[in-house]
Structure 1
Amino acid sequence: MRVDLFDFDLPTDRIALRPARPRDAARMLLVEGKRMSDRGVLDLPDILRPGDVLVFNDTRVIPAQLEGRRGEASVGATLHKREGLRSWWAFVRNAKRVRDGDVIEFGNQVKASAVSRDEDGAILLHFHGEEPVELLLEQAGQMPLPPYIASKRGTDAADRDDYQTMFARESGAVAAPTAALHFTDRLIAALDRRGVKRETLTLHVGAGTFLPVKADDTIDHRMHSEWGRIDQAAADRLNAVRASGGRVIAVGTTSLRLLESAADEEGTIQSFEGDTAIFITPGYRFRAVDGLMTNFHLPKSTLFMLVSALMGIDVMKAAYAHAIEQGYRFYSYGDSSLLLPG
Structure 2
Amino acid sequence: MRTNPDPESSPMEQTGAGRSRISALPWAAALLTMVFWASSFVVIRDAGPHFGPGAMALLRSLSAAVVLSLWMLVRRPRFPRSKRVWLIVILWGVAWFAAYVVVLNAAEHSMDAGTASMIVNIAPLIVAVFAGLVLGEGLPKRLIIGVLISLAGIGMITAASFTGVFTVVGLVLSVAAALLYAGCVLIQKHFLSREDSVTVTWAGILAGALACLIFTPNLIGDITAAPLSITLQVIYLGVVPTAIAFNLWGYAIRVLPAGLLSSSSLLVPAIVVVLAWLLLAEVPPPLAAAGGVLCLAGASCAIGPQIIGSLRRR
Query: Is TM-score (shorter-chain normalized) higher than 0.5?
Result: no
Give TM-score, length-normalised by structure 2.
0.28
Higher helix proportion: 2
Give TM-score, length-normalised by structure 1.
0.26
Higher strand proportion: 1
Q: Which has the higher contact order (CA 8 A, sep 6+)?
A: 2
